[in-house]
Amino acid sequence: MTVVLKRAVTTRLLYFFILGDILGAGVYVLVGAVARESGGAVWLPLLVALVLATLTAGSYAELATKYPRAGGSAHYVTTAFGPAAGSFIGFCMLAAGVVSVGALARAFAGEYLQALISAPTLVVVVIFLIVLAALNIRGIRESLGANLVATLIELGGLLLIIGLGAWVMVRGDADLGRLTQVGTAEHGAVGAVLAGTVLAFYSFVGFETSVNLAEEVRDPRRSYPTALFGALLTAGVVYVLIGVVAGASVPTEELARSSGPLLEVVRVAGDVPDWLFSVIALVAVANGALLTGIMSSRLAYGMADDGLLPPVLARVLPQRRTPWVAIVATSAVSLLLGLTGEVDSLAATLVLLLLFVFAGANAAVLALRRDPGEPGHFRIPTVLPLLGLASCLFLFTRIDGEVWLRGLFLLALGTVLAVVNAARAGRRDETATNGYSGPRPRRRHMTGTKKPDDNAAEEPRGGRPGPRDEGGDGGMATREVAPDVVETEEGAQEPPD
C-alpha cells in the first residue's frame, strides 16, 4: 500500500516554522560582520536585504500554492525547464541545506556553549546531529511543536536585546550618530551598504525551506502566503530594530570584532547575566538546524520521488510517515561537514548556493505563467519575479572570489547530476517512442511490499487529479492513506492521530 506524507501542518505551525527558520543563528552571529562591512548603520543593509528577500518570497508564494509538492524549488524548475535544470537547482538547495546544518552544528559547539560548559567540539557535533535526526524521524508535528517553543524563546531573546538596547539609549550611554555612519576604509557608502547586504541577506534565508512542507500543509493555497509574508515581515521588523540598538549601543569596531555581537549589547546594558543569553542563543542555533534538517530531508525525498535522486531516498516509515532514509542520509552528510568544516567558510558557500536557487525559482515563475496549476493559487504581478531575478544576478557580482572558488566544487557536482538525469530522461523518451510497454517505476516507496491488485484503479502521480480524486484539493488529500487502513472503492478513512 502506498505511504505518503501526513497533512498535519496548520497555518500557525507554518508561520512559526518560517519565522523560526529566518530568526535562526544568522542574526545572532552576523550583526558584527555586517558592521564590519557597512559601518555603524547596521540597520540599513538589513532593510535592503529584507526588500530583496521579499521579491523572491513572492515567487515562492505563487509556486508553493500552484504546485504543492515536497520537492520545492527542484520540482518547480523541473516543471519549467526540464530534469537537467531541476537536478541542478535541487542539488544546490540540498547542498545548501546540509551545509547549513553542518555549520549550525559547529556553531552550537562554539563560544555560546563554551560559556556554559566545557565540552569537546567533535563530541558535541555528533550528539547534536543524532538528536536532531531522531526528532525529525519521530514526526513532522512533533518537530514543529518543538520549533514552536524554540521560536518563542529565540524571538524573546531578540526582543530582550531590543529592550536592553533601548534602555541603553534612554539612559544616554548610546551614540545615535553611529546610525548614520555608512562606509569603511575599504568601501564607500554605496559599496559598504551592498557588501553588508550580502551578509544581511543570509539572515533572511530560511523562508524558501518551507515550500518543501507544502505536501504536509492542510490547506497550502490559503495557509502558505499568509504564513510566509507574515513571518518575513515579523523578522524584518525585529532585524531592523536589532540593527538600530546594536549599532547605537556598541562601538562599531567592538561590534565588528565580536563573534557574539548581541552578547555585547547585553554586557553594555549590564542587567542580564551572560549565561542566560547564551542559553537563548543556543536554542536559536538548535532550532535553525532542526528546521533546515527538516527541509533537507523533505527535499531529498521529493527529488527522489521525481526521479532526480536514487529512489531509496523516497522510502517512508509506514507508521510515522516520515522520510527516514532521506533524514539519515542528509544528517550523515551534515555530520561530515560539521566535523571537518568551519562556520565562516560554510556560511559563505551557503549564500552562493542559495542565490542559484532563488534565481531558478524567479525564472520558473515567469516560464510557468501559462500553466494553470492548482485552481485558485496565489499569483503575484509579473514585475516582481523579474525584479527578484535581477536582484539575484546583482548579488552574484558582490560575492567574493574566494567564495566562488570554494563553491565551484559543489556547483560542478550539481552539473554532473544534471547531465546524468538529462541523459536518463532522454533514454526514457527514446524507449517510449519505440513503443515500450513494460512496467513503470514506482513513484512512492515504503519499507514493506504489497501484492498488486490488478482490479485497482491506477493511483494518480505527483499529486495530480486521477480517477479517484474527486475533491477540489488537486488530488492531494486523497493520496494520504494510513498503512493500516484498507482502501476500498468508496475510499479510505484515516484513523485519528
C-alpha cell at 58: 513572492
Model pLDDT for residues 33-61, shown as the tens digit of each residue: 889 889 999 999 999 999 999 999 999 99
| Residue 302's pLDDT band (cuts 50, 70, 90) | confident
CA-CA distance, 48 to 246, in Å (whole number)?
17
Model pLDDT for residues 315-329, shown as the tens digit of each residue: 888 877 788 899 999
Residues 58/477/326/322 CA torsion (nearest 10 deg): 120
How far does Cα 282 stand from its chain's mean position? 19
Q: Shortest CA distance to 134 belongs to which of 288, 324, 335? A: 324
Q: CB within 8 A of 258, min separation 6: which ones? A: 32, 250, 264
CA-CA distance, 77 to 281, in Å (whole number)?
36
Domain map of the chain by residue range? 11-425, 451-497
> pTM of whole model > 0.75?
no
CA-CA distance, 380 to 385, in Å (whole number)?
8
CA angle 456, 462, 467 (to 5 degrees): 35
CA-CA distance, 446 to 488, in Å (whole number)?
20
- Would the pLDDT of 273 be above 70? yes
The answer to whether 474 and 374 have CB atoms below 8 angstroms apart is yes
- Would the pLDDT of 142 be above 70? no
For 467, other C-beta atoms within 10 Å of its C-beta total 9
How far does Cα 385 stand from its chain's mean position? 19
The answer to whether 224 and 65 have CB atoms below 8 angstroms apart is yes
C-alpha cell at 171: 539612559
Model pLDDT for residues 60-82, shown as the tens digit of each residue: 999 988 887 766 787 889 889 98
Percent of the chain with pLDDT over 90: 26
- Would the pLDDT of 424 be above 90? no
- Would the pLDDT of 435 be above 60? no
Amino acid type, 232: L
Domain topology for 11-425: Amino acid/polyamine transporter I (1.20.1740)
